[in-house]
Amino acid sequence: MKIALCLCCLLLAACGSSYEGYKFKPYTVRGVTYTPMTPREAVGYVEEGMASHYDESFLVFFPGKTAIGENQYSWSSSAAHKTLPLPCKVRVTNLRNGRSTVVRVNDRGPFIGERNLDVTTGVAKKLGFREAGLCPVRVEVLSVGDGRWRIRK
């Protein structure tokens, strides 16, 4: 019982954000330089494109780290984007079925093809495209930053 309680406490502590400010400096991946938009440019930004989801079944026991150092779990409502400032909250809408959910963008990617958003398995399930793997989506930025750094639409 004590072990289960300790594990729950560790998981809950890992879910919170400790990142302050914004991350929007240019970066390079596989020889391509990406220049993220500023927080002010991003608030209210809307785009349509293709979303994918990554299989993080191994993250149940070994969480990955995002671009801003947060733990990444398969059940997280989070996503990766190449040019939005980190962190930010976005509404993602599946253009095939109309389902939508709010997710935290806290990582960089996807760096495959013309995809503009990579979501966790939990988000793909909510949006109804887990089995398909890819889905046309609309991404609407609701806010950028956390706490005192937060800028809203």
Neighbouring-strand partners of residue 65: 71
pLDDT of residue 55: 66
8 pLDDT higher than 50: no
Query: What CA–CA distance (Å, rounded) separates 87 from 17?
Result: 9
pLDDT digits (tens, 9 = 90+) for 45-103: 999 999 998 766 554 555 678 888 887 777 788 999 999 999 999 999 999 999 999 99
Confidence of residue 147 (pLDDT cuts 50, 70, 90): confident
134 pLDDT higher than 80: yes
Instruction: Tell me the pLDDT of the chain averaged across its residues.
Output: 83
Phi, psi values for residue 86, rounded to 5°: -110, 140
pLDDT of residue 2: 40
Domain spans of the chain?
18-152
Per-residue pLDDT, averaged over 111-135, amounts to 92
Phi, psi values for residue 37, rounded to 5°: -75, 160
Q: Is beta strand 27-29 parallel, antiparallel or unpaired with respect to 32-34? A: antiparallel
Confidence of residue 148 (pLDDT cuts 50, 70, 90): confident
Q: Which fold has domain 18-152?
A: Barwin-like endoglucanases (2.40.40)
23 pLDDT higher than 90: no
- In contact, 37 and 46? CB cutoff 8 Å: no
Q: Is the bond into 26 cis (omega within 30 degrees of 0)?
A: no
